[in-house]
Amino acid sequence: MKGTVEPVIPSLHDQALACLMCDDPDAKLVLTGEVAQAWRAGRLVAGGGGPVHPVPVPGRPLRPVLVPPARVPRRQLGTARGRAALIHALAHIEFNAINLAWDAVYRFRGMPAGFYDDWVRVADEEALHFRLLRERLRQLDHDYGDFDAHNGLWEMACKTAHDVLVRMALVPRVLEARGLDVTPGMMKKLRHCGDQATVDILEIILRDEIGHVAIGTTWYRYCCEQRGLDPEDTFDALIDEYMQGHIREPFHEQARKAAGFSDAEMDRLKRHARGNGEKP
């Protein structure tokens, strides 16, 4: 009697790459949901898959046109077009965040299963955020791609692709954490303009993003522990190396502490923001 052949379970890493490189926004949302569901159902395995390659350009549509940050037009929230431009900028951040989450799943092999649980969930939630913002854009007679955007988030993904510790420190805990700081102010201005529909979306995003930054904190500290590094000193050193001049106040301390920032880290961030990053 011939032995049975065990079925080959597809690799989560290969599926993450498919999501990452999908360039149609609608298809990327559908594929993200399908892969997230398959992972949760145990139909994918973390391990195996093809080799890891650099991804200088992830899957994205031809529009929006990417320009340097200084060339992105300033947004006047007192006009409908200005509010649409703001929502477009936020949608672009969320689209990049989908790619960032899938890149973490694809790129960083050999991590505990909880790492992949977390970043698959982040990808799924970022897809929801993008969908909500795009629907709001369409209500304002615009769509994703109608305004120019910049590529700062993905540029940092490329700079941190060599090391999961550096990625966890700088993308969730610096760039994405900036959203925790600025979102309450945006919500206040939008309420003043009478745009409660967008405020309601930002409330969902702010709630979820606290959790996403907290995931970055968890895995950053895990990596530090594995390497015998002090997480606060290491975070400070990485900001010195990568983020000189890019740390800005004010900070939403309540949200950042909910996301795992310590008092010492907040003190050091304030010194960096004030141009004085010396160690205590």
pLDDT digits (tens, 9 = 90+) for 59-113: 999 999 999 887 777 777 888 899 999 999 999 999 999 999 999 999 999 999 9
Which pLDDT band holds residue 242 (cuts at 50, 70, 90)?
Answer: very high
Q: Inform me whether the pLDDT recorded for 158 exceeds 50.
A: yes
Q: Tokens 């615009």 label which residue?
A: 142
Tokens representing 199 are: 């405020």
- Mean pLDDT of all residues in 48-68: 93
Residue 97 neighbours by CB under 8 Å, 6+ apart: 122, 126, 129, 130, 153, 176, 212
Q: Inform me whether the pLDDT recorded for 265 exceeds 50.
A: yes
Provide the pLDDT for residue 6: 54
- Mean pLDDT of all residues in 11-26: 97
Q: Inform me whether the pLDDT recorded for 277 exceeds 70.
A: no
Q: Inform me whether the pLDDT recorded for 27 exceeds 70.
A: yes
Using N-to-C axis directions, what is the helix angle for 25-40 and 12-21, rounded to 10°? 170
Q: What pTM was computed for the model?
A: 0.94
Provide the pLDDT for residue 279: 43
Identity of the residue numbered 78: G
Q: Is the dihedral of CA 107, 109, 112, 113 positive or negative?
A: positive
Phi, psi of 114 (to 5 degrees): -60, -30
Q: Inform me whether the pLDDT recorded for 256 exceeds 60.
A: yes
Tokens representing 158 are: 């490329």
Separation of alpha carbons 217 and 219, rounded Å: 6
Q: Inform me whether the pLDDT recorded for 13 exceeds 50.
A: yes
Q: Inform me whether the pLDDT recorded for 127 exceeds 60.
A: yes
Computed over every residue of the chain, the mean pLDDT equals 93
Provide the pLDDT for residue 63: 95
Q: Inform me whether the pLDDT recorded for 45 exceeds 90.
A: yes
pLDDT in tens, 179-232: 999 999 999 999 999 999 999 999 999 999 999 999 999 999 999 999 999 999
Neighbour count for residue 200 (Cβ, 10 Å): 13
Structural contact between residues 52 and 109, judged by C-beta atoms closer than 8 angstroms: yes
Which pLDDT band holds residue 7 (cuts at 50, 70, 90)?
Answer: low
Peptide bond into 7 cis (omega under 30): no
Could you please report the per-residue DSSP string of 99-151?
HHHHHHHHH--S--HHHHHHHHHHHHHHHHHHHHHHHHHHHTT--TTSS-B--
Provide the pLDDT for residue 23: 97
Provide the pLDDT for residue 258: 97
Q: For 4-132, list the strands marked E by DSSP.
A: none
